[in-house]
Amino acid sequence: MFKIRNATVEDIELIRTLCFKVWPQTYSKIISKEQIDYMLEMMYSETSLKQQIKEGCNFLIISDDVKPVGYASYQHTGNGNYKLHKIYILPETQGKNAGRFLLDYIIQDITKKNGVALQLQVNRFNKAKDFYERLGFKVFKEANFDIGNGYFMNDYIMEKKLKV
């Protein structure tokens, strides 16, 4: 069975450790190693993670009976809307409902707070898009985000409407 707990600044090193086990494998066939390295530094440096927490991102750690197996972060963006910034599960735990369990937890939390929608961005070539669609998310926009250094995130923006 999975357990979820709120993460704090003290968990930054754990989040980084999990990230480096998931991210390269997830994106190596989609974007260049150079872009992966750039994005990891941009989004997962200790300084960046501290800033995200300071700006109100809720980070969660999911564990199985033995060890942490993933993490997520989400944030209120106004008018009852929330954004899922990150959700990553270790490759060996993928397919065992950890991602669904974590996403259900987030949706329950924001529904309690009268959230009306949860949005996320997913790379247009990431197979996770299918996972989100199975859970009721719908693509409502394609976007290309200039993240600097000549790199772009080519994403779908997806949304799930929530019952209030």
Domain of 106, CATH number, reads 3.40.630.30
C-alpha 63/C-alpha 5 separation (Å) is 9
Q: Which domain holds residue 9?
A: 3-161
Q: How many domains does the chain have?
A: 1
CB 127 within 8 A of CB 58: no
C-alpha 50/C-alpha 8 separation (Å) is 9
Query: According to the model, what pLDDT value does residue 164 have?
Result: 57
Return the residue matching tokens 């397919």.
95
CB 102 within 8 A of CB 118: no
Three-state secondary structure call for residue 18 = helix
Q: Which residues pair with 76 in a beta bridge?
A: 82
pLDDT in tens, the chain (164 residues): 899 999 999 999 999 999 999 988 888 899 999 999 999 999 999 999 999 999 999 999 999 999 999 999 999 999 999 999 999 999 999 999 999 999 999 999 999 999 999 999 999 999 999 999 999 999 999 999 999 999 999 999 999 999 75
CA 64, chain centre distance (Å):
18
